[in-house]
Amino acid sequence: MNVYEVVQGSTSIDGLVRSERAQPEPGPSEVLVRVRAASLNFRDIAVVRGKYIGGPLTQNTIPLSDGAGEVAAVGADVQDFAVGDRVVATFAQGDSSAALGSPLDGMLTEYRCLDASGVLPIPADLSFEEAATLPCAAVTAWNALTEGKAIRPGDTVLTLGTGGVSLFALQLARMAGARVIITSSSDDKLERARALGADETINYKREPDWERAVLDLTGGQGADHVVELGGAGTLPRSYQAVGPRGEISLIGVLTLPDGDLSPYALMFKGATLRGIFVGDKSLFMGLNRAIEVNGLKPVIDTVFDFDDAVEAYNYLRSAQHFGKVVIRI
């Protein structure tokens, strides 16, 4: 079967190579998935550059945590799935350390054997391409808004940027009846975010002190929820932008430290900082129910062919995308 591998020790996108492996056969508790689509996350760029958790890979590894397809065969003990079922893989296969794409082989392959506990049915109205966007970005956004300080109608949500997690946060927040403020350096992307339902937009190139703009837009109160995707470089500004008893969901690792990372600014507000690392299967199941009830459609920027996987990586790294980048297999 055709696969892509990130070669052992890779430190650049040049380490992503097309290869062949024998088609696997499912064990007793496994399903064999004919993968139809996979999507990219920033973590996948970090993996191929050797910058992800644990450093460069110690063995050739099939990349990408996010993929969807149809069941091609089932193991003898599998009862919940049958050949032909449309399924999506969960980010982690068991505990959070057993993530697809690193350290486990991922989904950029024609076939993948997974334990039956590591897949879920695809929401009925989603395509394979749309379902492939869910396991990392959508579950992360769902975790940020429904766990910890759960979102309520009338809350204000600030989300940073217009990548996959941020746009899912926008869609989910609007679905819950919240007001959404979103940031970007591109006016075009901000207009597209407004078309998706964003109430307020901030161009952080024109307004580098964007936390002040958030306070102005909220009458000095700040946001109830901050979906923090910049990481250490934007965190001090998020401390200022969050409101009393609000919550910052720390997700991103996109920027270098800039300013005082001390959380003392949160103390006088009674606000909290909560670390997010995707989410477990139960969260994914809750997300899928919400998608089906509300008819949510993931935002896909571009779908690349399998032959163009390296181009897809380069496009994601260029940061031109609005929403998710998908590879059709």
pTM for the predicted model, two decimal places: 0.94
Domain boundaries, the chain: 2-133+298-328, 137-275
Instruction: Please give the pLDDT value at position 97.
Output: 83
CB 15 within 8 A of CB 47: no
> For the residues 130-157, what does the mean pLDDT come to?
97
**Chain mean pLDDT for the chain:** 95
Quick: pLDDT tens for 239-281. Answer: 999 999 999 999 966 444 556 677 878 888 999 999 999 999 9
Give 188's pLDDT tier (boundaries 50, 70, 90): very high
Amino acid at 138: A
Q: Does domain 137-275 have CATH number 3.20.20.70?
A: no
Residue partners of 21: CB distance under 8 A and separation at least 6:
1, 3, 109
What architecture is the 2-133+298-328 domain classified under in CATH? Alpha-Beta Complex (3.90)
> For the residues 163-182, what does the mean pLDDT come to?
97
- pLDDT of 288 above 60: yes
Instruction: Please give the pLDDT value at position 60.
Output: 98
Quick: pLDDT tens for 8-33. Answer: 999 999 999 999 999 999 999 999 99
Supply the Cα-derived Rg of the chain in whole angstroms: 20
- pLDDT of 147 above 70: yes
Instruction: Please give the pLDDT value at position 253.
Output: 60
Structure tokens at 54: 């644990």
Q: Say if 2-133+298-328 and 137-275 have the same CATH topology.
A: no
Burial string for 146-176 (b: 16+ CB within 10 Å, else e) reads bebbebeeebbbbbbbbbbbbbbbbbbbbbb
Instruction: Please give the pLDDT value at position 227.
Output: 97
> For the residues 281-305, what does the mean pLDDT come to?
97
Quick: pLDDT tens for 307-325. Answer: 999 999 999 999 999 999 9
For the residues of 82-111, what is the DSSP string, one character each?
-TT-EEEE-SBSSSTTSBBTTTB--S-BSE
Instruction: Please give the pLDDT value at position 260.
Output: 65
Least confident of 7-21, 61-75, 219-233: 219-233
> For the residues 71-96, what does the mean pLDDT come to?
96
